[in-house]
Chains A and B, each alone.
Chain A
Amino acid sequence: MNEFSLFPAVFYFLAAMTVVSAVGVALSNNIFYSAIALMGTLLGAAGLYVMLAADFLAVVQIFVYVGGILVLTLFAINLTSRIGDVTVSNRSLGRFPAFVLLALVGVGMMRAIGTANWHRVEVVEPVPTINRIGEAFLTTHILPFELASLVLLAALVGAVVLSRKELREGRG
């Protein structure tokens, strides 16, 4: 990496985007704005994945999270919140105890990051990862890969059953 690399500037931009959006998700009073801020976090995290030489994961992140989970979340918000009722999110624990707990956890994690002696290897030039990941899925990790398809099928059927139950039985 040469002297005038763009790497630090890009990293700080993406890190700021990720963290600021995450704080926005946590603090916004309007659940809709939280969902939009979540998109910033997900896209920033996808950028960080690229910087960590995980190109395949970055694309999967954008497909699954931004294209799938976030759209689903927005649908759920629009189906459940009443129009005009903008501040549907409230506090359960209260912000002060939450901040105290957060400070304790945060100090512990920062000390762990600062003091731990991680195993380190020489950082190599990034190479495309998709071939290696595909091979690993069909050789070493084939059992979790097949289980994943089973889990997704179960989730699919479960979601359909859960959301159609009321219609069929006519309860409530």
Chain B
Amino acid sequence: MMEIGLNHFLVVGALVFLAGLFCVLTRRNAIGILMGVELILNSANINYLAFARYSSVSYDGQIFAVFVIMLAAAEAAVGLAIVLGIYQMFHTIDVDATDTLRL
């Protein structure tokens, strides 16, 4: 059996990224779009850690990944608060319906 190496992890990261991209492109539900963004951030993290393991002797990749997770948490908190605000105002979270800039 082939030795598991850097490329295997990069392929996994690429596939997760593609799933996230598809999610962002095809959803109209704002929460669905946010979940696609989470998938994309996770794929970036897989790549960071794969390179930190296989092509670097330092821990900088892992430290970057910590910051990515931190920003994802902040993004989710603010994003979902905005989604709830949109729902209170428009009674839907369909991003096509919320095209009003002011009331």
Binding site for B on A (CB under 8 A): 1, 7-8, 11, 15, 18-19, 22-23, 25-27, 31, 34-35, 38, 41-42, 45, 48-49, 52-54, 56-57, 60-61, 64-65, 68-69, 72-73, 75-77, 79-80, 88-95, 98-99, 101-102, 105-106, 109-110, 113-114, 118-121, 123, 129, 132-133, 136-137, 141, 144, 148, 151-152, 154-156, 158-160, 162-163, 165-166, 171-172
Q: Across the interface, which residues of B come within 8 angstroms of A94, CB to CB? A: 26
Q: Tell me, in angstroms, the Cα distance from A80 to B94 when the chains sit together.
A: 11
Number of interface residues of B (CB under 8 A): 76
B91 CB to closest chain A CB (Å) equals: 9
The contact string, 1 if C-beta is below 8 Å from chain A, for chain B 74-100, is: 111110111111011100011110000
Q: Is the pair A68, B73 in contact by a Cβ cutoff of 8 Å?
A: yes
Main secondary structure of the interface of B (DSSP, over half): helix
Q: Across the interface, which residues of B come within 8 angstroms of A109, CB to CB? A: 14, 17-18
B14 CB to closest chain A CB (Å) equals: 5
B85 CB to closest chain A CB (Å) equals: 5
Q: Across the interface, which residues of B come within 8 angstroms of A57, CB to CB? A: 45, 49, 62, 65-66, 69
Q: Tell me, in angstroms, the Cα distance from A25 to B43 when the chains sit together.
A: 14
B1-56 residues at the A interface, CB under 8 angstroms: 1-4, 6-12, 14-23, 25-29, 31-32, 34-36, 38-39, 42, 45-46, 49-56
Return the contact of A158 from the options B19, B23, B55, B78 (Cβ within 8 A). Answer: B78
Q: Is the pair A92, B73 in contact by a Cβ cutoff of 8 Å?
A: no
Task: Determine the residue in chain A with the shortest Cβ distance to B49.
Answer: A52
Q: Across the interface, which residues of A come within 8 angstroms of B67, CB to CB? A: 144, 148
Decide yes or no: A172 and B19 within 8 Å by CB, A65-B72, A133-B63 being known contacts: no
Q: Tell me, in angstroms, the Cα distance from A105 to B14 when the chains sit together.
A: 9
Q: Across the interface, which residues of A come within 8 angstroms of B95, CB to CB? A: 92
Known: A90-B28, A98-B26. 16 other contacts (CB 8 A): A22-B19, A26-B22, A48-B12, A48-B46, A49-B45, A54-B62, A80-B83, A88-B94, A91-B27, A110-B11, A113-B11, A113-B14, A121-B56, A133-B59, A155-B75, A166-B88
